[in-house]
Amino acid sequence: MPYAEGKKLLTYIFNLELLWCVLGPGVGIGIYFLTYWNWNSLPSGVHLADESHRSTDGRFVAERALYDLGALTSRGPRVAGSETNERFAVDLLHGAVATIARAALPEYDVTYETQRVNGSYILDYEDYPITSYYRNVQNIVVSVVRRGSFSGKYLLLNAHFDSAVTSPGAGDDGTMVVVMLELMRQLTQTAGSSMQHGVLFLFNGCEENTMQGAHGFVRGHPLAQSVAAFINLDVAANGGREIMFQSGPNYPFLMAYYRDHVQRPYANTLGEEVFQMGLVPSFTDYETLSKQGGWPGLDFALSSYGYLYHTALDARETISAGTLQHIGDNLLGLVRALSNADELGSIRDHREGTAVFFDFMHLFLVYYTETTGMIVNIVLGVLSLALIIGTLFMIMRKEGAVGTNVLFEAGMALIVQTLSIVLGAGLSVLVAVIFDACGRSMSWFTSTWLLFGLYFVPCISGLTLGPFLYVHFRKIPFLHDQGRVILFLHAQHCIYAFLLITLSIGGIRSAFVLLFPIIFYCATTIINMIIQFRLRVWIYVHLAGQLVPVIYFCTLTVTLFAVFVPMTGRSSNSSNPDLQMALFSSLLALLLVGLLTPFVVLFRRKLFVFGTFLLMFLVTAIVAATPEGFPFRERTSPQRYYIFHQQRNFYWPNGTLRDSGAIYYLHPQDRHTPALLQSEVPEWSAARLLGDECERELYCGIPFYINRYHRQSGSSYWLPAVEPPIFPEQVIFQFVSRESPAPGRHRLFFRVQGPSHMSLYVSPLAGRKLVGWSFSDRIPPSGKRWNGQDVYFVNFFSGSLDLAPFTFYIEIEQEVGTGDSHFYLSVVAQYMHHDTVYRAREFQSLLNKMPNYAHTVAYPGYLESWIF
């Protein structure tokens, strides 16, 4: 090849477009990794050896908290009702508190007690309300006040020491329990610190079972009357930094204290609204303390590495000293400040509405009231529209173009940009549907970087394609390409402004995320108007203005994926999680590059741009089809299975047995249930959907631990079992007596005895109505109806290892001429914390065949269903 032709070819290949195709993604990836590094950066833990140094005087000591965590988790899972929780954990915490109290400085009065409480309340969840009834729940309550300066008001700190089934609970919620112990040490053993209000430490012993410990304190402890505000400490993951994701409600001064006294803030209104919309499959004691206690508060939770949440891998080894130090440093400053806050002395005088809050790269917190946010958002939205109009007039004057032509092109740019957004999201959704249809959903579950190639790239391609096609096929003489790019950018900015105003009027506080592109675009537009959009120069001004928004949205991307990706492994098998990730990715891509993609118009060789997109997508898709794209890993991101060995007995109204048998019930947790299990364990190939069982029997005749499990009954599976389950304690259920307190009313008394975790399903027949029972003062709403009948659910818990018989009544009102039978009653028992020796050999053999990447929750269950 002649030298001149070779040089020409090289010049063609190595051009400005290719440089930007490499440099653009490279800069984006670099910024993303910078924010990821910042997100993972934690302080070094303070050691016990450092405690005597003046520089660490009064600082949280992470090493001691780690020792406490090791002790708390040394006996394995602490399921409420188990000996490990009701005796070992209570004794250990009681001893730790006693040691702290003895070492407290003389100016502090430290008192403590073990509360044992009974109670009930109604959790009015949509479709599946729960009547939560409990006996002998144990809490450890510690009061710390400074002698001579106690106002009579308390700041409450709450964490739960019980754990989920099979889980040692090092993260959830052992981390926060030991943090509270160390906070107590520092508050009571540091001289010279003031404390206007008392600090009340609630170590509650039953959160995992419908938050009964917190309710028992609210309704059953005398000091609850003196609580002014609270801080709830919980965990939805393992390690990392804690996020403050709920505040108030209606007491924004709490956010002011958080902003001023937390060293490394991590808080976001978006997280609060997403949680309150029910998109997070978890609940915390914040709900109980806020609604039942009527107190304002802050809700903290760890949010990283949720793959191990509620599994046997949630062990002491997964918690770092840096995590504990981060939490402790933040909370110690906040607790000290709030214990001296004048607002706590007259808390009701400071009710002002909700707050908008967010941090920037965990460096500082921005906080303002919702009213202020509404004003700011509307003003900025109007300013944005004014700047767009001003720029259009400038273009008309500068280019000498006819006003109607410029306005037409501006309108077309808005339409094209809107369609490009739809196209980008549509391409991402199409990829999600295809991958799910090919059995490759959740390929990003462990290898989260695949999300960028699979879903970000198609969306960005769609955003880019619209402006390119419009400019390519529609040539206009009165406006150069840079002017057309300005129109597309203004169109995107107009969309942001419209959304900002609309969401603000709709009361969506998370609209604040749009402030980043809007504020910086307004600023650069003003500068560019001053320099009259000087050719090429305005581009660099614009790009410089995009740096801060891109950094913020990279941080938001890190957070959202760290929180939501692991959650897709504990949802259901009936929905496609790739659709959720595709929509998340499309939204984030729009925020990240929505004000950058129109620059494709200026590229001479646009083939390089779309070729780069295609190459990135194909490489990612190929990797997703390899073992790297298999969703699950043995030690880091396991697949979750709930498999229960259940005995079911059904009785006729005359008390004779009409059906009986044992089954294995598989409750789905992710999109790959039961397909992966059936490919690994041949026995599960014979599994059947519940199907007609749900029509024949009340709530499918399955002893659901909690009634909302019935929501997934259409996608749950079962196998017949040869061997019956082995039960440590038998359920003893007896009909005691009947009486008629009024004409047409029937009150039936029963006695039941069984394990710590039991439940009841009550379903009156047609023409009957539940009008009274022992479990609550009022009758709750019905859950999802069965065969036209109301269904009421009672979660019945017995703590403190006290399994004494319980007598209760059910009262039914009957219409005239409706027969002698009145209601279905199903009695359910769960044996969730007993030793594996209580597994039948067939059950254990089935579990032994589970794949190594699976984490299985497995225990016996029992149901007997009657018609009275």
What DSSP assignment string belongs to 197-243?
SEEEEEEES-STTTTHHHHHHHHH-GGGGGEEEEEEEEESSSSS-EE
Q: What is the pLDDT of residues 380-438, one digit of tens each?
A: 999 999 999 999 998 888 766 778 888 999 999 999 999 999 999 999 999 999 999 99
Torsion sign over Cα 57, 60, 66, 67: positive
In this prediction, residues 750-755 reach a mean pLDDT of: 98
pLDDT band, residue 7 (cuts 50/70/90)? very low
Together in a domain, 408 and 269: no
Residues 476 and 608 occupy one common structural domain: yes
Structure-derived torsion over alpha carbons of residues 19, 22, 25, 30, reported in degrees to the nearest 10 = -100
Q: What pLDDT is attached to residue 16?
A: 60
| Residue type for position 505 | I
Residue 328 lies in a domain: yes
Reported confidence tier of residue 11, pLDDT bands at 50, 70, 90: very low
What rounded mean pLDDT belongs to the chain? 93
On whether both 337 and 381 belong to a single domain, the answer is no
Say if residue 466 is in the same domain as residue 543: yes
Structure tokens at 800: 């403190």
Total number of domains in the chain: 2
Strand order in the sheet with 732-739: 732-739, 745-753, 806-814, 768-773
Per-residue pLDDT band for 837 (boundaries 50, 70, 90) equals: confident
Long-range contacts of 546-549 (CB under 8 A, 24+ apart): 546/520, 546/595, 546/596, 548/516, 548/520, 549/516, 549/517, 549/520, 549/591, 549/595
pLDDT of residue 863: 98
- DSSP letter for each residue of 387-454: HHHHHHHHHHHHHT--HHHHHHHHHHHHHHHHHHHHHHHHHHHHHHHHHHHTT-TTTTTT-TTHHIII
Residue finishing a domain among 602, 629, 656:
629
Q: Domain for residue 654, yes or no? A: no
Identify the three-state secondary structure at position 590: helix
Assign residue 228 the CATH number of its domain. Answer: 3.40.630.10
339, HSE (Cβ side, Cα atoms, 13 Å): 25
Backbone angles phi, psi at 475, to 5 degrees: -95, 135
CA distances from 270 to 497, 605, 719 (A): 18, 40, 42
461 shares its domain with 343? no
Angle between helices 457-473 and 403-437 (to 10 degrees): 140
For residue 733, being part of any structural domain is answered with no
pTM of the model: 0.93
DSSP 828: E
pLDDT of 372 above 70:
yes
Amino acid at 814: Q
CA proximity to 601, closest of 477, 458, 488, 479: 488
Q: In this structure, what token pair is assigned to residue 822?
A: 């009145």
Are residues 386 and 328 part of one domain? no
Q: What is the pLDDT of residue 464?
A: 96
Least confident interval from 302-306, 461-465, 657-661, 717-721: 302-306
- Write out the residue range of the structural domain in which residue 344 sits: 48-128+137-353
Asked which of 290, 320, 353 is the last residue of a domain, the reply is 353
**95 in Cβ contact with 88 (< 8 Å):** no
DSSP designation for 145: E
Cα separation, 150 vs 171, in Å, equals 34
pLDDT average, residue stretch 127-150: 96
**Cis geometry, peptide bond prior to residue 674 (ω within 30 degrees of 0):** yes
106 belongs to a structural domain: yes
Q: Among 606, 629, 652, give the residue marking a domain's end.
A: 629
